[in-house]
Amino acid sequence: MAENLLSKGEADAIAIVSILENGQRSEITWQELRDLVAATAAALTHEGVVAGYRIVAWTPHVTEVSGDALAGLSLGALWSTASREFASSAVLYRFAQTAPLILMADR
């Protein structure tokens, strides 16, 4: 899926437009997205991620997390998210179902 998606779009064309709740808008081009996915996939590979690994992310749903998800998918990993608004008990319940091997979180 990641390979198919990332093969679309011209390098300098906009791939994702993100608008946060506070109105802050950001854009990422196809080339920036490809670079983000490649860098994140390399970092995940360095951590030993292989096909079948389960990755979870407790992060806001922003552009960069889309790139993280595509990186995991490109390696054959399963991906699950919960936004920061989830209570910690709800996150634990949700993520326990997948028995993740990698947790990604924002600062």
Query: Sorting pLDDT into bands at 50, 70 and 90, what band is 105?
Result: confident
State residue 37's pLDDT score. Answer: 96
pLDDT tens digits for range 28-50: 999 999 999 999 999 999 999 99
Tell me if 7 sits within 8 A of 26, measured CB to CB. Answer: no
Instruction: For the chain, give the percent of residues with pLDDT over 70.
Output: 99
Tell me the average pLDDT across 88-105.
91
Q: What is the DSSP letter of 9?
A: S
Tell me the β-bridge partners of 16: 28
Q: What is the DSSP letter of 52?
A: T
Q: pTM for the complete prediction? A: 0.86
Tell me the average pLDDT across 50-66.
90
pLDDT over 90 (residue 84):
no
Q: How far apart are CA 89 and CA 21, in angstroms?
A: 24
Query: Sorting pLDDT into bands at 50, 70 and 90, what band is 107?
Result: low
Q: How many CA atoms lie within 13 A of 73 on its CB side?
A: 15
State residue 71's pLDDT score. Answer: 96
